[in-house]
Amino acid sequence: MEVLARLGIATVVISPGSRSTPLTLAASNNTKLNTVVVLDERTAGFIALGEAKRSHKPVALICTSGTAAVNYYPAVIEASLSGTPLVVLTADRPPEYRNCSSGQTIDQINLYAASVRSFTELALPEISSERLAYLRQSLVHAVDRALHINPGPVHLNFPFREPLIAQLGDAPIIDADCLEKASTVITRLVDSGTRVGHLDTVAIERLTSHHKGLIVVGDINPQNEDDFTAAVAVLSKSLGWPVLADVLNPLRAKASTIKGLICNYDRHLRIVKDAAELLPTAVLQIGTLPTSKILRGWLEQIDATHFILADRPFNSDPLHREASILHGDVSFLVSYVIEQKPDLNWLNSWIEKENSQAQSMNNKLEAVKELFEGKAAWLLSKHVHAGSSVFLASSMSVRYAEWFWSTNSPAGAIYSNRGANGIDGTLGTAIGIANNGPPTVLLTGDLAFLHDTNALLSAKDFNGSLTVILINNNGGGIFEHLQVSSCEGFEEFFATPQHVEIEKLCVAYSVCYKRILNWESFTEQLHKKTNGLRVLELKTDRKFDSNFLKEF
């Protein structure tokens, strides 16, 4: 554990168990490490994921042998797809107890398959300087794989024989000098870095030859938001291209720095005339594609030259376009691009439509008195405390935010588990982001919240402020927007209402709760500064929300 601490790991999330005793005691006895105990391994994985997303540093996980490790799998998958570093330390039975019906023993070798950047089966512990050197370098290389070129989770499996706690006199004591030497790490690995190299100059020339281009920016969680925004602004100015920005990156919060920032692209492209007038000849995609299906469908159909900027070896093109891959980050690309003479008519046509749509959207939302789910996202973007983190649940929460999130919002970083796009671990991830971090707001639906209620067990122990805005439409609102909504059995098999009294659930976990009845009360609550975890429940009608959105 001393090696992990010296490599920059600050937090270890531990789930209780017997076989992992040596790892747990090593972590808890190291004053450099912040240990968090979480009963449910599934929740533990997502709490670790949330903190790693916020800090951009690996968070370690410790669990016992058996199915405990399997419960990390959803968080490991999300970490893999979102490029988030985790160091998973699983305890295991020694080889002689495997495959012989020994209790709490499963096959943990390569348990997470291709979802981890590396897997290491450690040797059985031995008190020797050689074995300690082997352990040190195994940890050094694992953390390096978690951070560099293609960040993500790594898995180390530790077999232990009993006794798991050595009694005084039972084993030789290694001297302090030898321990210090084993813990010494020469290579500093705490800073993750983007792979840099030489960009294809022919591809750059093709990119810069287009005057009617678009920069499309999706889900990106940059380590330095100001540098990222400044680089995109320079790129947009140099090329004279508008920037279509999803809510899951820093650009909307800094709209004043990018002249051609476009946030209402979904509404532009729903209007046939506008979609036809805004056809680009080139598209540069940065990060994954935005959530909007309308945008994705339009990009798939248009006749344009496509470029994808990739800062890690990861296929981010679900449309399977003929696209040139540019390896590096935005700052690296900017150094290759010479400022062009922009087509002002092209840029201004996008800006004029954006201003018109933004004004129309604001007027409509301002007039809505009913508890429409989209207005909750809109008001949150305007009234959230400055610098607060925001976590958006999958399904409708992230979609409403993409459609209605205001520019120049005072919010800080915005997160979502869009790697696998599941509702797994929604509350746990938000707790991880809030733990020892800035005040955090979670915008979620009722199903995503109820799917992760075990995370409420951690509410009493985490250090921070988390406000859960719970949109309770008694079921899966996203299915109301799909063709299946007209099918027989829709309520039972798709909407799946749970009929849970959220207030009583919160009381059971000693969590603060308040029912929101109108928008005035909602904004008043957003302005309050609180500690710990609280739930603000807004009961909405998913039929009304769906119909209202269609007319929007």
Q: Let me know: does 106 contact 67? Beta carbons within 8 Å.
A: yes
Q: Which CATH number is 201-353's, of 1.20.1440.230, 3.40.50.1220, 3.40.980.10, 3.65.10.10? A: 3.40.50.1220
Radius of gyration of the chain (CA): 25
Given a cut of 50, whether residue 193 has pLDDT beyond it is no
Confidence of residue 167 (pLDDT cuts 50, 70, 90): low
Q: With residue 91 as reference, give the H or E element that holds it.
A: strand 86-92
Report the distance separating Cα 133 and Cα 139, nearest Å. 10
pLDDT at 482: 86
Closest CA to 218 of 284, 152, 277: 284
Closest CA to 514 of 495, 528, 498, 496: 528
Is the model more confident about 345 or about 198?
A: 345
φ, ψ for residue 402, nearest 5 deg: -60, -40
Strand runs (DSSP E) across 252-319, as ranges?
A: 261-262, 282-286, 305-310
Kindly report whether the peptide bond that precedes residue 163 is cis, defined as omega within 30 degrees of 0: yes
Residue 283's DSSP bridge partners are: 214, 306
Q: What is the pLDDT of residues 5-34, one digit of tens each?
A: 999 999 999 999 999 999 999 999 999 999
Q: Is 11 helix (H, G, I), strand (E, B) or coil?
A: strand
pLDDT at 341: 85
Q: What share of the chain is helix, strand, coil (3-state, %, to 5)?
A: 40, 15, 40
Q: What is the pLDDT of residues 79-130, one digit of tens each?
A: 999 999 999 999 999 999 998 988 899 999 999 999 999 999 999 998 888 8
DSSP string, 520-538: HHHHHHHH----EEEEEEE
* 2-183 fold: Rossmann fold (3.40.50)
Same fold, 2-183 and 368-550: yes
Residue 59 CA: distances (Å) to CA of 14, 41, 47, 110, 153: 11, 14, 9, 20, 9
Report the distance separating Cα 289 and Cα 292, nearest Å. 8
Q: What is the pLDDT of residues 476-488, one digit of tens each?
A: 989 888 889 989 9
pLDDT at 3: 92
Range in 5-9, 172-176, 338-342 with the lowest mean pLDDT: 172-176
Is the model more confident about 239 or about 341?
A: 239
Residue 394 CA: distances (Å) to CA of 44, 266, 384, 522: 19, 18, 20, 22
Taking phi first (over 0 means left), then psi (-120 to 50 degrees means alpha), and beta for anything else, what does residue 529 get?
beta
Given a cut of 50, whether residue 194 has pLDDT beyond it is no
Q: What's the CATH code, domain 368-550? A: 3.40.50.970
Given a cut of 90, whether residue 442 has pLDDT beyond it is yes
Q: Which residues, 6 or more positions from 314, have their beta carbon under 8 angstroms from its beta carbon?
A: 83, 150
CB atoms within 10 A of CB 124: 11
Report the distance separating Cα 412 and Cα 387, nearest Å. 4
Q: Which residues, 6 or more positions from 129, have their beta carbon under 8 angstroms from its beta carbon?
A: 174, 178, 181, 182
Given a cut of 70, whether residue 185 has pLDDT beyond it is no
Report the distance separating Cα 397 and Cα 268, nearest Å. 21
Distance of CA 363 to the CA centre of its chain: 32
pLDDT at 192: 44
Q: Let me know: does 15 contact 39? Beta carbons within 8 Å.
A: yes
Report the distance separating Cα 34 and Cα 40, nearest Å. 18
pLDDT at 179: 64
Tokens of 143: 């953390």
Averaged pLDDT, 273-281? 91
CB atoms within 10 A of CB 44: 29
Range in 95-109, 192-206, 287-301, 364-378 with the lowest mean pLDDT: 192-206
Tokens of 400: 């409403």
Half-sphere exposure of 254 (CA within 13 A, CB side): 20
Given a cut of 70, whether residue 346 has pLDDT beyond it is yes
Q: What is the pLDDT of residues 362-405, one digit of tens each?
A: 999 999 999 999 999 999 999 999 999 999 999 899 999 999 99
Q: Which residues, 6 or more positions from 74, have their beta carbon under 8 angstroms from its beta carbon?
A: 42, 45, 46, 420, 422, 424, 425
Tokens of 22: 């040596």
Report the distance separating Cα 435 and Cα 429, nearest Å. 10
Averaged pLDDT, 535-542? 96
Q: Let me know: does 97 contact 105? Beta carbons within 8 Å.
A: yes
Averaged pLDDT, 64-70? 97
Boundaries of every domain in the chain: 2-183, 201-353, 368-550
CB atoms within 10 A of CB 303: 7
pLDDT at 552: 75
Q: Let me know: does 240 contact 340? Beta carbons within 8 Å.
A: yes
CB atoms within 10 A of CB 75: 32
pLDDT at 113: 97
Averaged pLDDT, 299-323? 92
Report the distance separating Cα 450 and Cα 425, nearest Å. 10
